[in-house]
Amino acid sequence: MATRWGIVSAGKISSDFVASLKALPESEHKVVAVAARSLQNAQEFAKKYGIEKAYGSYDDLGNDPNVDVVYIGTVQSHHLSVSVALMRAGKHILCEKPLCINVKEVKEMIKVAKEQKVFMMEAVWSRFFPAYKELEKRLKAGEIGQVRHVIASFGKDLRHFQRLQNIADGGGATLDVGIYSIQLVSLVMGGDKPLKIVGTGHQTSAGTGVEESIGSTLLYSDGRIASISASFVADLPSEAFIIGSKGTIKIPYPMWCPETIEGPSGTMTVPLPKTAYEFNYDNSQGLMYEAMEVRRCLQQGLLESPGMPHSESLTVAEIMQAVRMQAGTVYPQD
CA 74 to chain centre: 13
User: How confident is the model at residue 271, as a pLDDT?
Assistant: 97
pLDDT tens for 5-41 read 999 999 999 999 999 999 999 999 999 999 999 999 9
Output the pLDDT for position 15.
98
Write down the mean pLDDT value for the chain: 97
What's the pTM? 0.97
Residue 156 pLDDT: 96
Tell me whether strands 92-96 and 69-72 are parallel, antiparallel or unpaired. Answer: parallel
Residue 173 pLDDT: 98
Mean pLDDT of 46-58: 98
Residues 96-119 have a mean pLDDT of 98
SS3 41: helix
**128 Cβ contact list (under 8 Å, min separation 6):** 289, 290, 292, 293, 307
Mean pLDDT of 47-67: 98
Residue 161 has pLDDT above 90, yes or no: no
Q: How far apart are alpha carbons 47 and 39 in whole angstroms?
A: 12
- Give residue 190's pLDDT: 97
CA dihedral (56, 62, 68, 71) in degrees, to 10, reads 60
Question: Nearest-5° angle of CA 150, CA 152, CA 158?
Answer: 165
* CB half-sphere exposure, 8, CA atoms < 13 A: 32
Task: Give per-residue pLDDT as tens, 181-209.
Answer: 999 999 999 999 999 999 999 999 999 99
Mean pLDDT for 198-222 is 97
- The SS3 of residue 299 is helix
| The pLDDT of residue 239 | 98
Rg (CA), the chain: 19
Task: Give the pLDDT confidence score for residue 158 in this predicted structure.
Answer: 92
Range 230-251 average pLDDT: 98
pLDDT digits (tens, 9 = 90+) for 72-91: 999 999 999 999 999 999 99
Q: Measured between alpha carbons, how far is 169 from 47 in angstroms, rounded to an integer?
A: 28
Kindly state the average pLDDT of the residues 112-121: 98
